[in-house]
A and B are shown apart, each in its own frame.
Chain A
Amino acid sequence: MSQVTQAPLAPPPVALAPTQPVSLNINGQAHTLQIAPWTTLLDALREYLDLTGTKKGCDHGQCGACTVLVDGKRINSCLSLAVMHEDSHIQTIEGLGTEDKLSPLQQAFIDHDAFQCGYCTPGQICSAQGLINEGKAKTEAEVRELMSGNICRCGAYSNILSAVMEVLNNEGLIIEDKAWSAGATKPDMAPVEPPKK
C-alpha cells in the first residue's frame, strides 16, 4: 500500500482579530470570554463554551433552531452579538432541566413524541418556554401563531403543539419576569414535577 505524502501547506497569513473581554451569565454561571465583537451569541455558546445544545440552522433568524432565553425572553441567538448581552441572564436548553430531572416541557416533548430528527427541538423547547413565560397564548391557534418562529422540517408540528398545550394547561408554570431581576444568580426554571402519565 503506497503512502501518499504531502508537503505541509504554508500556514495562512495570520490577521489577529481585535478581541475584547465579554462577560456572560449563562445558565446561572458567569463566564468571561475574550472574543471578537462579531461573534454572535450563538457562536459564543457553541464554539467557545461547548454549549452545543443550541443549534445553528439557517443562521438568519428564519428557523428558530438557535432560540435561547435572555432575561426570560426568547430570542434568536444567531442574530445577536455576544457583546450585546453583558449583564443579561442567558438560558439555554442545557439550563432548562437536568438528565435526572427534565423540565416539564422536555418531558412533554418525550411523552408526546414531539420530534423526529431532533435538530429543531432545543429551539422549540426554549421558544415554548418563552411562550409560557409571556403568558399570552391560551388556545391552540394562539400557540400555533406564537410558535411560528420555529420551523420543524420533519413536520412534527401537531405533536409539538400537544406537548406545549399540555404544559400550558398545567397551572403554576408561568415564570414571572421578576425571577430575572438583578442579583438572581440561578433562576428557577423547573418549578414543578413533570406531569405523571
Chain B
Amino acid sequence: MNSFTFTQATAVAGAVQDKAAHDDSAYIGGGTNLIDLMKENVARPTHLIGLKKLGLDTIENLPDGGLRLGALATNADTAWHPEVEKRYPLLNQAILAGASPQLRNMATDGGNLMQRTRCYYFYDLATPCNKREPGSGCSAIGGYNRVCGILGTSDQCIATHPSDMCVALAALNTTVRVSGPNGERTIKFEDFHRLPGDHPERDNTLEPGELITGLDLPEKGFSKNFSYLKLRDRTSYAFALVSVAAALELEGTLIKDARLALGGVAHKPWRDKEAETMLIGQRATVDTFRRVAAKVLENAKGYGANTFKIELAKRAIVRALKQATEMNQEIDTNAFQNSNP
C-alpha cells in the first residue's frame, strides 16, 4: 500500500470539501474493495476520507411508501432489516447471495455501487487494461475471459460489474441520492452505472467529488413473486457468472407487471425494459419466458472462454421467472430457500 493521510469526516459538506481539497483522494466506507485495491496497487489514493462518522447509516420509511437506505448502512444490516425482509425480499436475497458474512458486516450500501470489476487483468499490473490504464489495451479480449461480459461490451473493455445487490436495486427502480461540490441531486439507478464505450476507466456517472448519501427504494417491492438466481463456480462466496433478478406481479397466471435484471454479464447491472414490456400482459408460462430470454440475449457477444454465458443466461432467465411464478403467495423471507437453483 502506498502512503496516504486519513481524516474522519463528521459531516457530508466537510467530506465533500475535504475531497475537493485533495487531489487523488478517495472516500472510504467499509473499505472492503478499496483497501484490497490499494494492497494490489491498483488504487493509490494519497488521502482517504473516512465516512463512518457521517451517520447516514439508518434505514427509514419514506412518506411516499418507499424506503431509504442510508449510504453508510452495512449490507448485512440492510439485508436483515425487518422492512427489507418484509417488503423487498428480492434485495434481501441478492445481498445475502454476495460476499461473505464478514464482508457484508463491513461493506456499505453506497460502497456496493462503487466497487470495481473483478476482471483478472484489472487486478494484474503486469498486463494492459484500459480500465486501469486508459489506452493501454484490453487483455481480456482474446485472453482468459471466463468471467467477462457478453452484453454492452466495447472493443476497449469487456469487464463486468461484480455486484449482486445492484442487480436487485436495478430491478427495483432505485434512486441514488448524491451530494457534491454543486449540491445535491438524484440519479436514476439505470443511469448510475455506465457501459464501457471508449471510457472504460469510468464505471459510473458521478461527477468528481460527488458522494452517495442514500438509496431510495420505491414502494413497489414485488414481495410476492420474485427470484434472485445466482450461478457461480461454487455454491457460496463467489462472484456470479450469471445472476438474474426477476420480479413479477401476477393476477392468476396473467403478468400485470415485471422486472428483469442480470448480473455478471455487463459493465453495469443489465436491466432490460423491453423484455419487461414483453412479459406484461402475457401468461406466465415457460414458452413466454423462453421468448423473453431469447430477446434479452439477442445481441449478446461471446469472447471465447465466456461464450457459454449466453446459453447460461437464457436458461437462468427462464428458471428465475419460473421460480418467481411458482412462489407461494405467502411471503417467504428465508434467504436460504431461494438462493440456489
Residues of A within 8 A of B (CB): 17-18, 20, 36-38, 40, 59-61, 64, 67, 70, 73-76, 79-81, 83-84, 86, 127, 130-131, 134, 136, 139, 141-142, 144-146, 148-150
Q: Mark B14-38, 1 if CB is under 8 A from A, else 0.
A: 0000000000000010111001101
Taking a contact as CB atoms under 8 Å apart, the answer to whether B106 and A75 are in contact is yes
A145→B236 contact, CB < 8 A: yes
Q: List the 9 shortest-distance A-B pairs measured between CB atoms, nearest first.
A: A149-B100, A37-B6, A148-B236, A148-B237, A73-B105, A76-B102, A38-B1, A149-B102, A75-B106
B103 touches A76 (CB 8 A): yes
Is B236 touching A67 in the complex (CB atoms < 8 A)?
A: no
| B36 in complex: contacting residue of A38, A61, A83, A127, CB < 8 Å | A61
A17-B3, A18-B5, A20-B6 known; A83 vs B50 contact (CB < 8 Å): yes
Other than the given A37-B48, A38-B4, 6 more pairs (CB < 8 A) read A18-B3, A36-B3, A74-B101, A80-B106, A131-B101, A149-B99
Contact of B102 among A38, A60, A74, A145 (CB under 8 A): A74
Residues of chain A within 8 A (CB-CB) of B157 are none
Q: Is the CB of B101 within 8 A of A127?
A: yes
| 25 A-B contact pairs sorted by A residue (CB < 8 Å) | A20-B6, A38-B3, A40-B35, A59-B39, A61-B100, A61-B102, A61-B103, A67-B102, A73-B105, A74-B101, A75-B102, A76-B100, A76-B102, A76-B106, A79-B36, A79-B106, A83-B6, A84-B31, A130-B102, A139-B336, A144-B236, A145-B236, A148-B101, A148-B236, A149-B100
Query: What residue of chain B has the Cβ atom nearest to residue A87's Cβ?
Result: B53
> A136 — nearest CB in chain B belongs to which residue?
B80
A79 to B104, CA, bound (A): 12
Contact of B32 with A149 in the complex, beta carbons under 8 Å:
no
Residue B247 is within 8 A (CB to CB) of chain A in the complex: no
Contact of B100 among A139, A141, A148 (CB under 8 A): A148
Contacts of A131 in B (CB 8 A): 101
Chain A residues near B31 (CB, 8 Å)?
Answer: 79-81, 84
User: Residue B76 at the A interface, CB < 8 A?
Assistant: yes
B97 to chain A, nearest CB (A): 10
Identify which of A60, A84, A86, A149 contacts B28 (C-beta below 8 A). Answer: A84
Q: How far is the CB of A47 from chain B (nearest CB, A)?
A: 14
Complex: chain B residue closest to A139, CB-CB: B336
User: In the complex, are the beta carbons of A76 and B32 less than 8 A apart?
Assistant: yes
Minimum CB distance partner of B33 in chain A: A79
From residue A13, how far is it (CB to closest CB) to chain B in Å?
14
User: B5, B76, B101: which has the most chain A beta carbons within 10 Å?
Assistant: B101
Could you tell me which B residues sit within 8 Å of A by CB distance?
1-6, 8, 28, 30-32, 35-36, 38-39, 48, 50, 52, 76, 80, 99-103, 105-106, 236-237, 336, 339
Once bound together, how far apart are the Cα atoms of A150 and B236, in whole Å?
11
Task: Select from chain B the residue with minimum beta-carbon distance to A38.
Answer: B1
Chain A residue with minimal CB distance to B238? A148
Given A38-B1, A60-B36, A81 and B102 touching (CB < 8 A)?
no
B102 and A127 form a contact (CB under 8 A): yes
List the A side residues contacting B32 at CB < 8 Å: 61, 76, 79
Chain B: CB-nearest residue to A15: B3
Among B2, B102, B105, point to the contact of A64 (Cβ < 8 A): B102
If A17-B3, A37-B4, A142-B336 touch, does A74 touch B50 (CB 8 Å cutoff)? no
Q: Which residue of the partner chain, among B5, B8, B336, contacts A145 with CB atoms under 8 Å?
A: B336
- Interface pair B1/A141, CB less than 8 Å apart: no
A80 touches B35 (CB 8 A): yes
On chain A, the residues within 8 Å of B103 by CB distance are: 61, 76, 79, 149
B1, closest chain A residue (CB): A38
* B5 and A134 form a contact (CB under 8 A): no
Q: How far is the CB of A7 from chain B (nearest CB, A)?
A: 31
CB distance from A143 to the nearest CB of B (A): 10
Distance, CA A41 to CA B103, complexed state (A): 14
Q: Considering the complex, give the chain A residue whose CB is closest to the CB of B35.
A: A79
The residue on B at minimum CB distance from A144 is B236
Closest Cβ–Cβ distance, residue B56 to chain A (whole Å): 15
Determine whether the beta carbon of B102 is less than 8 Å from that of A141. no
A107 to chain B, nearest CB (A): 23
**Complex CA distance for A149 and B76, rounded to whole angstroms:** 14
- Selected from A17, A60, A150, the residue in CB contact (under 8 A) with B39 is A60
Query: Provided the pairs A60-B36, A74-B102, A141-B336 are in contact, do residues A84 and B4 lie with their beta carbons within 8 angstroms?
Result: no
Instruction: Report which residue of A60, A70, A136, A150 has the largest number of chain B beta carbons within 10 angstroms of its beta carbon.
Output: A136
